[in-house]
Chains A and B, each alone.
Chain A
Amino acid sequence: MPKLFDLALTVNGTRFEQAVEPRTLLSDFLRHDLGLTGTHVACEHGVCGACTVLLDGEPVRSCLVFAVQAHGHSVTTVEGLGSIEQLHPVQEAFRQAHGVQCGFCTPGILTTVVAFLDDNPDPSEEEIREALSGNLCRCTGYQHIVDAVQLAAKNIKTAHQQPAR
């Protein structure tokens, strides 16, 4: 039995310390140890993107990262984006454009898109589809998701243009 590893990391702004088995996948640690079940697991071999989280701001597959590798780093999950009362602009756009059906792939898509729009605030449809190419969705055919990303980009831009009070 390999020895446990004393893991310390920040998730959605909160610091957690816990001893874990080295083989524990970050996805399982978030879901089962921290109870952050918004991050979903659908393939566990790095293709579907449902488990995408932000590791130090970078979108990564949490099923391809061991929890111990997040030691001393900061993780953002879908729970860290917005709340039911206060949706993140990207979440709000997904609601407005019906970018959600069963909602299982959605958390991984939201984290991917938030990072994408940070890098590329004014993307073309082609760039959006490329950015989404690592996230599989079986319900939507992606069209309303693409619309949602376009809407989010537009809303975020106009929000920035509001004169500061």
Chain B
Amino acid sequence: MTKTLIGKRVLRNEDPRLLTGQAQFVDDVEIPGLLHAAFLRSDHAHARLLGLDVSAARQRPGVVAVFTAEDMGADWEPGPPLVSPPPTAKDVLFHSRRQVPLAKDKIRHAGEAIAVVIAENRYIAEDAVEDIIVDLEPLEAVVDLEQALHPGSPLVHDDLDSNLAAHLFQKKGDYEAARKQADLVLQRRIIIDRGAAAAMENRGIVADWDERSQHLTIWDTTQAPIPIRNGTAARLGLSENQVRVIAPFIGGGFGPKMMMFYPEELVIPWAAKKLKRPIKWIEDRRENFYATTQERGQIHDVEIALSRDGHILGLKDIFLHDTGAYDPYGLTIPLNTQCHAMGGYDIKNFTTEVSVVFTNKTLVTPVRGAGRPQGIYVIERLLDAASKELGIDPVEIRRRNLIPADAFPYEHGIIDQAFSPLILDSGNYWPVMQKALEMIGYEKFIRDEQPRLRQDGRYVGIGITPFIESTGVGPYEGARVTVEASGKIFVATGVGTQGQGHFTTFAQVVAEQLGVAVSDVRIVSGDTAEFHWGTGTFASRGAVVAGNAIHAAAVIVRRKVLELASKQLDTPEDELELEGGRVRVADIPNRSISLAELANLANPLRGAVEPGTEPGLEATAYFGPRYGATAFGAHAMILEIDPETMMIEIKRYVTVEDCGTVLNPLILEGQIHGGVSFGIGNAYYEKLHFDENGQLLNASFADYLIPSATEMPRIEVGHVETRSPLNELGTKGVGEAGTIPVPALFAQAIENALADRELEILESPLSPNRLYELLSRKEAG
């Protein structure tokens, strides 16, 4: 079958609704009698909750109810663990401490919910929150990762004897032995700080309990509607079919909307059922900075051993990972960091040890990149240091260490975030880097342009950073494909969608099989009433896992269609072709039958059908990869820095991605562009500033700086395609690829621009102020 649609720049099915304000987001849900919720949140990061007086709030006109932990009685229980600690890996210590619906006894981070007000509208609800008198006894806050582990540090969780949440040791080969062989051993301390996902749409949830039908409908800004349904049913003592969770249009996810259960997801459905009234809670931007999960905080003490000719003999990475006040998401992030600290390089000896630390800060769960940028930052910073020490060109030292094409599948012998062995399934790395070098004109820049610019007194630098991205992890997703009586196609799948264009790429996959127009394929994703098996959209897995499940279902339906059509047209199946919504005989185009007719024939209203046949032209299929597909890419950048003001302008930005089969280049480019802007934010603009008392000092878009159109460069995107052998479509994920290498690349390019200052950057994010401090310190010696 020749590809007609896959790989084409097909316009998106979902756009007309989004462009005209007709697409429904959670805050757009209106129900008669809808009530509105607002939460009282802690001003303190760490405190004992001594008393709570909600009487004034309850009396305020327009207030329907005020609930505290106490009011929830026996229904008060912590959220479930999202990810359990790795069962397989040995040397694992893990203390599971999960977020609570409403704080009881103790506050563990600023912004933790203490009480909820339900009122006629949000304005009144917020008035009433100010009526609540809360008596908090402040405790010393646990903020710094290292001090948190010192004996005598205050404890985030009093029942533990330290703030150590988890400890995980992994090794490959024998680092210590390799170190002895080394000509050069470099040790560095690398510090990476926190950022926010800052999706444009804040979180929100609407819960509607219908007493008569005993049915609960929930609209939730979640990346994982099915687990939310199952968990909610269990908590409220309902059968799963009594709960329907809808993730409608979602205004960006980027990871935190995968986290569950958020306290609000525990409280709002409970309150709706208790009050028998529909309730809406919409997070405001300030809450989003406190109550929505964040990521990136790690401190690495790392050591690399190399031979004189720049070959990496071994790598040792001991690091701390900040998980915030609770750790419902297990070890996903630090495992990703461990798996990416070797980058795309052939490293035989690797030792890695992570200590996960509880702090009095907002919870940490994956944010676009999910531990991968930290791993890539570590190895790439070390290689830049090594290339200077050894006098080997930064490109050359990377080339010498990249995994060769004939080494795939390449087994690392450690476990990945899904607890399966880390195996790089396929790839051809060096050509990807070569292409990036050509696109940005590396040779010419180094040879001609940079020296000329330097003579004009301008500080312009270049960098290139290769990286891997583990994607498309299990366990599985599923889908149901149906040819409807109209001849149009209906597809239901479980993953939520947050702007990735699933309505289009999935439709392309189906249309490819069934020979219909992409616009004739209607996708429903993220509605448990339509499909209720699956996990969610995360880890760049939508197109890989759900995409392949849809493909598998479409293939079965195609078979059914051909079977029936060959009877009707009495022609062997191999002489039939599907096109334009019809099945026709290849060489006699006028002998054909429409999918609509076939759909009706397959679902007759009268008469007998052959025993054992299934009605309809429909199939449900599932896909679960043996292990995740690993994508590869290289980014290159030219930037100019004004060494007086530290203002930076990115002059060129090039990315080359190998994410296997490309379903839709238009959408792929969009994913890359967005990923890069996210990464540029991580590298230079975005940092969550917590003070020594755990107060977040920049909980607004005025102080938390996400890149705007005037900061973003044009991004030139190139492709190389190495199909993944792990799935039919040959796809690998790309959702996080744009973000992963940027901070490392940015640091490399700045060092290159300021070569004569011999600056070494070992931290992220940067800022003009920080660069000024680093350079001043350097000059002071």
A interface residues (Cβ-Cβ under 8 A, vs B): 1, 21, 23-24, 28, 31-32, 35-45, 47-48, 50, 77-79, 81-84, 87, 91, 94-96, 98, 100-107, 110, 128-130, 132-146
Contact = CB atoms under 8 A, between A and B. Distances in A.
B123 A142 contact: no
B581 interface: no
A138 B739 CA distance: 12
A77 B18 CA distance: 13
A40 B251 contact: yes
B780 interface: no
Given A37-B27, A84-B20, A135-B709, A104 B673 contact: no
A138 B254 contact: yes
A36 to B, nearest CB: 7
A79 B708 contact: no
Nearest to A137: B200
Contacts of A35: 30
Which of B18, B23, B201, B501 counts the most A-chain CB atoms under 10 A from its CB? B18
Contacts of B678: 138
A81 to B, nearest CB: 7
B19 interface: yes
A78 B251 contact: no
Interface stretch (B178-186, B402-410, B698-706): B698-706
Given A102-B201, A104-B25, A141 B20 contact: no
Given A37-B21, A129-B710, A138-B678, A98 B667 contact: yes
A144 B18 contact: no
B274 interface: no
B15 A45 contact: no
A115 B673 CA distance: 26
Nearest to B18: A103
A48 to B, nearest CB: 6
A36 B499 contact: no
Given A37-B21, A104-B201, A138-B678, A45 B700 contact: yes
Nearest to B15: A95
Interface string B25-38: 10110100000000
Given A40-B25, A132-B708, A141-B677, A102 B19 contact: no
Given A84-B16, A136-B200, A130 B710 contact: yes
Contacts of B12: 95, 98, 100
Contacts of A110: 19
Contacts of A102: 199-201, 249-252, 498-499
Nearest to A109: B709
Top 7 A-B pairs, shortest CB-CB distance: A38-B21, A102-B499, A104-B251, A103-B18, A141-B673, A141-B677, A47-B701
Q: Interface majority SS on B: helix, strand, loop or mixed?
A: loop
Contacts of A140: 670, 673-674, 677
Contacts of A84: 16-17, 20, 22
Interface string B115-134: 00000011100000000000
A109 B349 CA distance: 51
B293 to A, nearest CB: 16
B198 to A, nearest CB: 6
A6 B91 CA distance: 69
B284 interface: yes
B253 to A, nearest CB: 8
A87 B702 CA distance: 33
A135 B198 CA distance: 14
Given A40-B251, A43-B285, A138-B254, A103 B701 contact: no
B709 A101 contact: no
Contacts of B710: 129-130, 132-133
Given A44-B284, A91-B20, A141 B674 contact: yes
A100 B670 CA distance: 9
B670 A78 contact: no
Given A45-B702, A137-B200, A98 B666 contact: yes
B19 A95 contact: yes
A59 to B, nearest CB: 15
A141 B715 contact: yes
A38 B21 CA distance: 4
Interface in B686-732: 700-702, 706, 708-710, 712, 714-715
B11 interface: yes
A109 to B, nearest CB: 10
A40 B252 CA distance: 13
A44 B16 contact: no
Contacts of B363: none
Contacts of B217: none
Contacts of B19: 78, 82, 87, 91, 94-95, 100, 103, 106, 110
A48 B701 CA distance: 7
A42 B123 CA distance: 17
